[in-house]
Amino acid sequence: MEKQSVGKILLGKWDTKTIVGVAIGVALFGVLMDYASIKVFTNTNLTLAMIVPVIVGGLFGPLPAALACGLGNCLADLIGGWGMWFDWSIGNAFLGFCVGCLKLYGADIENGKFDAKQMIIYVIVAVVGNALAFGVVTPIFSALLYQSELTITFICNHFPRKMIQHLKDFRGLDTVPIDAGIYYITGDAFPIQLLVTKELDPKENLWLQSLRNNMSEPDEIETLLREYEIKKSSKLYQAAMDVITRANWVAVKEVKANMCEALKELMAEEFQEQEELVTKRVTEEVTKQVTEQVTEEFIRTLFKHITDADKLAELLNLPVEQINKVLNR
Terminal-residue alpha carbon distance, the chain: 79
Give the pLDDT confidence score for residue 292 in this predicted structure.
72
Model pLDDT, residue 197: 81
Q: How far apart are CA 76 and CA 94, in angstroms?
A: 17
72 in Cβ contact with 25 (< 8 Å): yes
Task: Say which DSSP state 42 is in.
Answer: T
pLDDT in tens, 177-203: 888 888 888 888 778 888 888 788 777
Is the overall model pTM greater than 0.75, yes or no?
no
Backbone angles phi, psi at 183, to 5 degrees: -130, 145
What integer pLDDT is reported at residue 282 of this predicted model? 67
Question: Cα–Cα–Cα angle for 232, 156, 87, nearest 5°?
Answer: 60
- Residue 267's pLDDT is 43
Report yes or no: 74 and 84 within 8 Å, Cβ to Cβ: yes
What gap in Å lies between CA 256 and CA 259, rounded to an integer? 5
* CB-side neighbour CA atoms (13 Å) of 247: 16
- Model pLDDT, residue 70: 94
Low-confidence ranges of the chain (pLDDT < 70): 1-4, 40-44, 147-150, 235, 256, 258-275, 278, 282-283, 286-287, 289-291, 294, 299, 312, 315-316
pLDDT, one tens digit per residue, over 92-118 is: 999 999 988 888 877 777 777 878 888
